[in-house]
Amino acid sequence: MSAHKPWPTMLSVMAVMAVMALLAGAPAEAHIASNGFLSLQVTGSHVSGALELAIRDGELAVGLDRDRDGKVNWGELRAGQSSLQSYVSGHLALIGVDGVCKVSFGPLQVNERVDGNYLWLPLNADCGTALERLTIDYRVLQDEDPSHRGLLTLSAHGEVQSAVLGGGSGAGAAGGRLFELVQPSPWSAFIEYLRAGIWHIWSGIDHLLFLLSLLLPAVLVRRQGRWEAVPMAAPAFANIVKVVTAFTLAHSITLSLAAFDLVRLPGRLTESVIAASIIIAALNNVFPRVTEGRWRIAFAFGLLHGFGFASVLAEMGLPKGARLVSLIAFNLGVEAGQLAVVLAVMPLAYLLRSTAFYRRALMPWGSSAIAALALIWFVQRASG
């Protein structure tokens, strides 16, 4: 009788918990993260612009759904307008040389985005003295949803700056975040877009689940109709490198084309096909058709994922004086975030590859769960 080895069981439990946490914590929307869009234009001492928040975030902040029927209608939006304005006033401050700027709000409107309807709250601010620098203290949903981030587009003197506000970006600290209203240096633009790329891949669970679906079989080999563990690390490493490289190359191509407005695809089409790509990649683990050339799937659908990445850049914009630097930084951020996930997941997968849990439970049932979640996304995105 062979000796009992408890450590694979422990790792199995850890893996199950990780997968369950990932899938259970993922709502059926385009991304699990909450993003707000803050657009500001500075003219002298005056700031104008708007804040966009998903209706679900507005409900989380001030409770817009008054009849608790799970839907927010226009009447409820109108009724909750003053509460929302008061909430934003207490969680977003613009600070100039004379202190906090006096902010007023226009009538609440609704804007449709690919991942749902957003509250569009126009704002104007009087800062007293002509602005050469502006501090933004962004604490929207800081208490209600720590994952929330604000994507800032700040225009001043003919130049555009972008930043990710909130959370660990530094913008939620006491006193806010300072912006010099001059052309940003290439280095500052590089840092901002690097952060944005990392945040996007970590918050974009659809991109990660697509990659994970292709990487789960990387530590296995298909023989006589069943999955078996690769005998050594070298084949697994080669499979991982092929998949990640193909995905990286593909989305880098289309991200660049879209960023420079050479090719554009409708947002709903792009997001729907991204969801479909996850379904195909996940079901290929359950009903294997492509076993040795998964890098081809990664490349083919990676082209579509690149357009998805480009949607974030479209919201942020590329600064005129540092367009190429910003694009490279954003792409490097995506790769860094992606690599961090691979390095966290694949060593554990390699350790578990020989267990029945990995081959007979995690591969088929984990992949089926991913496909089911992606199917919900596909229906939502295709139907608008």
DSSP letter for each residue of 26-39: --SSS-SS-EEEEE
* Inside any domain, residue 111: yes
In this structure, are 158 and 210 located in the same domain?
no
Q: How many domains does the chain have?
A: 2
Which of 347, 213, 316 lies closest to 274, judged by CA? Answer: 213
How do residues 263-279 score in pLDDT, each as one tens digit?
Answer: 877 777 888 888 899 99
Query: Of the candidates 141, 133, 143, which has an alpha carbon nearest to the alpha carbon of residue 181?
Result: 133
Asked which of 114, 147, 180 is the last residue of a domain, the reply is 180
pLDDT of residue 30: 43
What is the per-residue pLDDT for 173? 42
Give me the amino acid identity at 270: T
8 Å CB contact between 356 and 246: no
Q: What is the pLDDT of residue 162?
A: 80
Average pLDDT, the chain: 81
**Do 205 and 166 fall within a single domain?**
no
**325 and 202 share a domain?**
yes
For the stretch 181-203, pLDDT in tens is 866 667 777 887 888 888 878 77
Kindly report the pTM of this predicted structure.
0.61
| 170 lies in the same domain as 196 | no
Of the residues 180, 207, 233, which one is the last residue of a structural domain? Answer: 180
Q: Are residues 191 and 176 in the same domain?
A: no
* 4 DSSP assignment: P
Based on the fold, state whether residues 334 and 206 are members of the same structural domain.
yes
* Residue 168 pLDDT: 52
| Residue range of the domain that includes 248 | 186-383
- In contact, 194 and 306? CB cutoff 8 Å: no
- Assess whether 72 and 200 both reside in one domain: no
CA atoms of 242 and 248, how far apart (whole Å) = 10
pLDDT of residue 90: 92
Length of the chain as a residue count = 384
pLDDT digits (tens, 9 = 90+) for 88-98: 999 999 998 88
- Residues 324 and 191 grouped into a single domain: yes
pLDDT of 279 reads 93
Instruction: Count the Cβ atoms, other than its own, within 10 Å of residue 71.
Output: 11
Task: Give the three-class secondary structure for 322.
Answer: helix
d(CA 272, CA 350): 32
- Residue ranges in the chain whose pLDDT is less than 70: 1-33, 114-115, 167-175, 182-185, 314-322, 384
Within 10 Å of residue 110's Cβ, how many Cβ atoms? 13
Beta carbons within 8 Å of 4's beta carbon, 6+ residues apart: none
Within 8 A by CB and 6+ apart from 172, the residues are 138, 139, 142, 165, 166
Q: Can you tell me the distance from the alpha carbon of 339 to that of 196, in angstroms, rounded to the nearest whole number?
A: 15
Task: Using the 3D structure, point to which of 128, 155, 180 is the last residue of a domain.
Answer: 180
Q: What is the SS3 assignment for 178?
A: strand
Residues 323 and 364 in one domain: yes
Q: Are 138 and 171 in contact (CB under 8 A)?
A: yes
